[in-house]
Amino acid sequence: MMHTLARLWHWLIEPNPAIKSLEKQYYARLLAVAIVIFLPLWMFLTGFSPDIDRSDFLANIAVFILFTIAYILLRFGCFNVAMAMTLFAAVSRVYIAAVLFGRYEGLYFLVVPIFFGAAILPLWLTVAFLGFNILVLYAISIIRHASLVDAVGWRVVTLVTLSGVMAIWITWSRNVLEHQRQRALAESEARYKKAFHRAELEIAERKHAEAALSAALEERSVLLKEIHHRVKNNLQTVKSLLYLQSRQFDDPILLSALEDSQNRVHSMALVHELLYQTENLKRINFQKYISRLTDSLQSAYAARAKLHVQVDDALYFNVDTAIPCGLIVNELVSNSLKYAFPDGDTGNIWITATTDDSGHIVLVIMDDGVGFPADIDPQKSPSLGLRLVQSLTHQLRATVHFSEGNGAKVTITFAPEFFGQT
């Protein structure tokens, strides 16, 4: 029951959402309370007065109808019209009671519409409303001078005048505060616009700088790709020159040396070719690099041995690491293709690269061929290829281990702080 009454009360005093101003919404609720509760209560109490007559009762009915229309207009969002009609009905009822029925005590109620109107009306309208009431009071004094002056006439005029002056002061103070509030809002908005404009300029400058940086990075990327492309072409030219040079000789030893040099140049050119083809110019997929390198070696030597590449696809090396690793793989795989399977035998060559538990890269090249010659120590071999392997592993600060079993096996371990993975 209480909940239903609370909802009904909320509905009665809730203004229309069309009233946007928070201040007007507040005064609209006060006006709704006045129309719904206080004015009908006042009319009800005065209706039971012992000296009320039919004309007085009809005046109450007319005023109540005006209040009802004002409330309906308020519910529809017409706040200003509802306010004006309510003030007109209330003041008119007070003056009707004073002029027609001689009830001068009701003139004290003029203080209520004066203060209520002062809270909402502009200053000039408050002054006009006060002046109108004072003129009407004096007119009533002239019309019914004896009763009005002898009873409460001068007190009413004095009270209304003082109330009006106070209402004017309240309205003026409200206007001053509103002006200060508007000025503070204007200053705040000006500061906000200035800060927003400054932020827009900073954002525009940052975007311009980012665009310039992006263009510079793109240009750098294009230039680096072009450099890698030119280096690859130059290395291919050197390889072609070595090939043309080899056609002028018949010495098998010299031809083998020139062929090995061609393969070494090709392994270096392949790095730059991969860098030219990839989007990331800082690192190379080692699995892709080794696969292409071993394919070219097998094609160059026309070997019958089968190559098995097992390289972790997550391994990426930078240029400084990829080229020495490629040269090492080139030398060791070339040796296996040339010497591990004599007399046209078939066999297998394995190239593996993984990461161990300590984070080191372990590169293993092994075959199931005849193994290292018994009279050669791989660690101290005069062979250019093995000496090159030793030099490159030293350059990479890696360790190399040669072992034999069912063929030859070379294990190279890279220190985690150097292998260049990014």
177 and 60 belong to one structural domain: yes
pLDDT range class, residue 352, cuts 50, 70, 90 = very high
Rounded distance between C-alpha atoms, residue 308 and residue 29, angstroms? 88
pLDDT band at 109 (very low <50, low <70, confident <90, very high): low
C-alpha radius of gyration, the chain, whole number: 52
Q: When comparing pLDDT for 4 and 148, which is higher?
A: 4
| pLDDT for 144 | 62
Compute the distance between CA of residue 169 and CA of residue 36 in angstroms, rounded to an integer.
29
242/344 same-domain check? no
158 lies in the same domain as 104:
yes
Q: Does the pLDDT of residue 116 top 70, yes or no?
A: no
- For residue 70, tell me if it sits in a domain: yes
Instruction: Identify whether the C-beta of residue 261 lies closer than 8 Å to the C-beta of residue 275.
Output: no
The burial of 379, by beta-carbon neighbours within 10 Å (0-12 exposed, 13-18 middle, 19 or more buried), is given as: exposed
Inside any domain, residue 3: no
Lowest mean pLDDT among 150-159, 302-311, 339-348: 150-159
Between vectors from CA 380 to CA 376 and to CA 381, what angle results, nearest 5°? 50
| DSSP characters over 321-375 | HHHHHHHHHHHHHHHIIIIISGGG---EEEEEEEE-TTS-EEEEEEESSS-S-TT
- pLDDT at residue 421 above 60? no
pLDDT recorded at residue 53:
67
Banded pLDDT at 119 (limits 50, 70, 90): low
The mean pLDDT value for 389-407 works out to 84
What is the structure's pLDDT at 245?
Answer: 78
Per DSSP, 302 falls in state T
Q: Does 297 map to a domain?
A: no
Four-CA torsion 98, 100, 102, 105, nearest 10 degrees: -30
Mean pLDDT taken over the chain? 76
CA distance 148 to 133: 15
In the prediction, which pLDDT does 422 show?
44
DSSP character at residue 157: H
Position 296 in a domain: no
131-155 in b/e form (b: 16+ CB < 10 A) is eebeebbeebbeebeeebeebbbee
Closest by Cα among 407, 331, 319 to 363: 331
| Residues 309 and 402 both lie in one domain | yes
Residue 152 pLDDT more than 60? no
User: What is the Cα–Cα distance from 357 to 110, expressed in whole angstroms?
Assistant: 96
State which residues form the domain around 184.
8-192
How much is the pLDDT for 275?
A: 57
Task: Determine what percent of the chain is predicted with pLDDT higher than 90.
Answer: 2
Residue-level pLDDT at 145: 59
Find the angle CA(111)-CA(165)-CA(161) to the nearest 5 degrees: 55
Query: What Cα–Cα distance (Å) separates residue 136 from each residue in 60, 159, 287?
Result: 21, 14, 105
> Of 231, 247, 281, at which residue does a domain stop?
281
Confidence at residue 280, expressed as pLDDT on a 0 to 100 scale: 61
Are 304 and 344 a contacting pair, CB within 8 Å? Answer: yes
**Do 122 and 263 fall within a single domain?**
no
Closest CA to 47 of 58, 36, 33: 58
Q: φ and ψ at 410, to 5 degrees?
A: -125, 125
Token output for 135: 């003129």
pLDDT, residue 364, reads: 92
For residue 406, the domain's CATH number is 3.30.565.10
Is the CB of residue 270 less than 8 Å from the CB of residue 319? no
Residue with tokens 């300029």: 201
Query: In the listed set 266, 281, 296, which residue is the last one of a domain according to the structure?
Result: 281
Please state whether beta strands 348-355 and 361-367 pair in parallel, antiparallel, or not at all (unpaired).
Answer: antiparallel
Q: How many domains does the chain have?
A: 3
Tokens of 1: 């029951």
Average pLDDT over residues 57-70: 79
Helices 319-335 & 252-277 angle (0-180, nearest 10): 150
Q: By the 8 A CB rule, do 354 and 312 touch? A: yes
- Of residues 46 and 268, the one with the higher pLDDT is 268
Residue 290 covered by a domain: no
| pLDDT 10s digits, 371-383 | 877 767 777 776 7
Residue range 258-278: mean pLDDT, rounded: 69
Q: What is the pLDDT of residue 203?
A: 92
Q: What are phi and psi of 86, to 5 degrees?
A: -65, -45
Residue 373: what are its φ and ψ, rounded to 5°? -60, 145
Residue with tokens 């392994």: 267
272 and 309 together in one domain: no
In a domain, 299, yes or no: no
Question: Is 217 found in the same domain as 161?
Answer: no
User: Are residues 44 and 158 both part of a single domain?
Assistant: yes
For the record, the structure tokens of 338 come out as 């040339």
pLDDT (mean) for 112-136 = 72
Say if residue 33 is in the same domain as residue 107: yes
Q: Are residues 312 and 363 in the same domain?
A: yes
Strands 316-317 and 361-367: unpaired
Do residues 183 and 277 share a domain?
no
The pLDDT assigned to 387 comes to 82
The pTM of the full predicted model, rounded to 2 decimals, is 0.47
pLDDT of residue 303: 67
Tell whether 125 is covered by a domain. Answer: yes
Write down the pLDDT at residue 286.
Answer: 83
- Whether residue 202 is contained in a domain is answered as no
Looking at the fold, whether 57 and 98 belong to one and the same domain comes out as: yes
Cβ-contact 365, 350 below 8 angstroms: yes
